[in-house]
Structures are given as structure tokens and as C-alpha cells.
Amino acid sequence: MRLHCTCALLVLAAAGLAAAQDVAPPADARGYTVFFRGTPIGREDITVRTGPDGLVISGTGRLSPPLDAITRRAEVRYGADWSPQSLVLEGTARLREQVLNVTFAGEEARVEYSIEGKPASKVDKVSAQTLVLPNGFFGFHEALARRLASVEPPAELRAYIAPQLEIPLRVRSVANERVQTGSTAFGVRRYELVFGNPGGDVGFHLTADERGGLIRVTIPAQGLDVVRDDVAASTSRTQTYSNPGDEEVTIPAAGFNIAGTVTRPKQDSQARQGRYPAVVLHTGSGVGDRDGTAAGVPTLGQIAGALAEAGYIALRYDKRGYGQTGGRAESATIGDFAEDVRSVVRYLDKRRDIDPQRIVVLGHSEGAWVGLLAASREKRIAGVIAIAAPATTGAELILEQQRRALDQAQVSEAERQAKVDLQKKIHDAVISGSGWEGIPPELRRQADTPWFQSVLTFDPARVISDVRQPILILHGELDRQVPVSHADRLAEFARKGRSRSVEVVTVRGVNHLLVPAATGEVSEYGTLPDRTVSRDVTAAIAGWLAKTFPPRAR
């Protein structure tokens, strides 16, 4: 669980669209919604023209804080051989007028730009077929999507982050997936990419349709997701992961429907007889899709498949306000998510293929808190599996994560103390509802939410003491987001409470995403060679379930 991250992107924009050709090629118009930590903060509209002379991408955009940018005009041109011709942008970033105009010739980029009317110019060396991807206008990734259609990973391209510098852009892998919009599904290609920034690699994902058109750009480390309108709709979802025996279901909740996937044991795919134990899977903060996909790892989707192989029925679902599930994500609290779990459990309780006495809830990271809270409220829940669960309050955890980040950044003691003091002041203001004086408005807009208040004040020690059901606490040894020391501390709280069965499992060599890692650091996520949940993790879960809730159908 990575809480309350902030994002600062340099947004440069410039004036003066290049003159249109006398006969313009046909235009393809589309819109994109920009999400920050799952909340929509703006949109971009682009027009794409292709012809014998090359590719032209133009558009406009408006983004609210934390990006806080308006792009009035944007255009990039490529020749038929993918050589960049020109870039023009015009707009504001944080209320400051900014202009950028770049012309390309061979391996030179001639840059003219101004900020608040102060002009400057320079010449940068770039590759002859560099991709022009300035920060702040995501629609230009359309060119990257089309370029990738003819690239076989592993490969390396070059990207000019105008007007800063050119950097390597590594193509790690590509996978074929399906996107479902209403009752229609179509094929897409999902690319795992890495920007080789001077300050450290940044991993991101790009999804393109079968024609090479841009569908989605996701930058997990910055909490950003840019999604084409048809896919951003509440009736759509990306099928990032599927298992044999998957069944799409709709579950009634408090004023909206929850969309989920039931995965059945393979041996039961032909004849559905008897009642099976079931496991409800809930993901962590900042991740809303039912597969629990973070940094390219569909954690819950893979665990669901392993549970089915072990003889259990698994149900995973889109969180409130995400994918095909209704409701409002921006106003939901941990308590609200726990009520959604209870709705899912009640749905399973009524199914004829489910043993109502053996329904278990599995939660990952913040989802573990949700599962514990649901179990303390719901007698129908027979057991809880808490994976990578924090043992401190949310406020304490965030300060712990901040200290680690500051240690790695090697900032001065004065700067460290100022950042810590600001974070504490934000916490106090969120909890009390007052004391926002001196806190930057953009930080208040991010922090002053019902969800964040519920995180800061959540006390797992108090909640777990009310859980009577058997509990499995599982943690990755290399977890740096929620250090492994939290597992033993949480178990200590549980054993002082009402549960008569508390087991702790530490899995060596895996990180917060439950995959093999070298360091476990968040900065390593984008370069992980293995995106498969460790078999040691799934074996530990299946082993505990087999002892506690045998998989035999009744």
C-alpha cells in the first residue's frame, strides 16, 4: 500500500500550429480521460491524421491539480519514415503561460520556448527517428502506440522529452489481451515499457488496439492513468488476466452493482455438483480492477487461478467506482469497502454451488484491512487471509514510508524535517478538519478526502482484536512498502484478541506484489523480469485453506 503519493510533472506547451495542408488527410478524433489515483482529473481530445507524407497528432487538454495544466493547442508531425518534423504546444502550467516550438532537421532539435513571456532557445542532439513525448500532453503517445506495432521486444527506442533531453525507451514485453465494453469485446496489445530517466528508470504500460491506436497509458509510480473514453466508461474493463472456468457475475450492493469474476475448479468445469468453499479477493489502495493489477502484475487474478486449481471457488471483483462496478471511488472509505465485501459474501451465501459455512475473505495490503473489518462485522465470513497487511495506523505507516523515501533521497536534515513536519500537519488537518493554513492548495485537494481520513485513522490493532475467525497473516520478506516486521506485530494483536487460530507465514525472496525480487524496492517494479506471483505464496495460501477449510465439495 503506497499512500498519499504526490506527482509533479513539468508541463510545457506552446503556440502556433503549423499551417494545415491544402488537402488534409482524413482525421480520426478521440477523447481520453486522465485519472490520478483512480479519480478523474481532466481530459484530452486529439485528432490523428495519416497520409503519404506521414502522421499528424493535434489536440487540446485540461487537467486539474495536481497536474494543473491547460493545453490550448498541441501538434506533433512525423514524416513517412518516422522522422519527427515539428512540435508545437501552447498553454499554461500551474497558471503560468508556457510556449514550446521545436523543429527537427536530421539529428538536431531546434528549440524555442518561453515561460511567462521570457524567451529562450537551444539546440539538442536527437536520434533521426526519435519519438517526441513532452511531459504533460499524453495524446502524443499515439505515435508510440503506432510505432510499437512493428517492434518486437526486447527492443530499445529513443524518446525526446521536449525540451529537456532524449532518453532510452525500452520495450520489455508485449501481451495480447481483451477489453470488454458492455457486451462487446475486442483484442488489444499491452506493452511493458521503461523510460531510462537519469534519476532512475520509470516503468509504464501502454495498451493499443489492433490497428495500433492508443487506448491507455498507465504510469503506476505516479498514480496516473490515461484511458480512451470508450474504455474509461463504467461499462468497460480490461481483461488483463483470465483463468479457465471464469464466469462473469453481477452482484447487488448498496445502490449500485458490483461486477466480478467467479473462477471455478477445473475438475468442475463440466459438472457443477456439490457445494465448494469459496474465497473472496479484495485488492489494495490505488488499484481498482478485479485482477489487482499493479506494475503489470495481476496479483489477484493469478491467486484466483491457483485457488481454483486447489479446489476452491474464487471471486474477485472491481472495487467501488472502478471498471464495471458502480458507486463513487472518491467518496468511499475503508468502511464502505468492507460493506462491499459483505455484499459479495451475501451473494455467495445464496449460491447453490457454495458452502455457506466456508466463505473466506482474502485481502492484499489495504485490502487486508478491509477484509479484517468485514470479518469483524459479518458472521458469514468463516476465515480471513491478510496479505502484506500494515500493523500500524495509516498515519504511522505513511510516516514510516516517508522516512524510508527520504533516506533513499539523501536530503539534508533541514529538508527532511520540513517534509516530515508538513506531512504531520496534513495528517492533523485531515483528521481534525481544520488547520489547513500554510498547506499548499494542491496538497489539500489530494489529501482532504473521506478515503484518506479513513486510512489515517484506521487502527488494525483494534479491529483485529474483534475478529473471531481463523486468520492467516502472510507477508513477503522483501516487502519495502509494508515491511515484514508488520506481520509479527499484527499477529501479536490478533493473539490477544478473540481469534482462536492465528498463523503467520513469511515468504522469502518476494516483494509487496508477491513476485520474486532482488531488493523489493518500489523503484524495482518496472524492471522486474518475473511478473508471476510466487508459487511459495500460493502454496502457503492453499496449504492453510486445506487445513482450515478442506476443499472437498459437500
Query: pLDDT tens-digit profile of 350-409?
Result: 999 999 999 999 999 999 999 999 999 999 999 999 999 999 999 999 999 999 888 887
- Strand 313-317 versus strand 276-282 pairing type: parallel
Residue spans of the chain under pLDDT 70: 1-26, 37-38, 180-184, 233-240, 267-273, 553-554
- Strand 69-79 versus strand 84-93 pairing type: antiparallel
**Helix axis angle, 299-309 to 535-548, nearest 10°:** 50
pLDDT tens digits, one per residue of 292-315: 988 878 999 999 999 999 999 999
CA distance 233 to 475: 35
**Helix axis angle, 334-350 to 366-377, nearest 10°:** 60
CA distance 238 to 241: 9
What is the phi/psi pair of residue 34, to 5°?
A: -105, 125
Task: Give me the pLDDT at residue 1, please.
Answer: 53
Q: Which helix (H) or strand (E) holds 188?
A: strand 184-195
The model's pTM is 0.67
- Among candidates 195, 196, 126, 116, which has minimal Cα distance to 162? 126
- Strand 354-364 versus strand 276-282 pairing type: parallel
Task: Give me the pLDDT at residue 219, please.
Answer: 86
CA distance 120 to 112: 6
- Find out whether 138 and 161 touch, Cβ atoms under 8 Å: no
Q: Which domains, and CATH codes, for the chain?
A: 27-236 (no CATH), 247-393+459-548 (3.40.50.1820), 395-452 (no CATH)
CA-based angle 141:157:114, to the nearest 5? 55
Task: Give me the pLDDT at residue 504, please.
Answer: 98
Grid coordinates of 170? 525500452
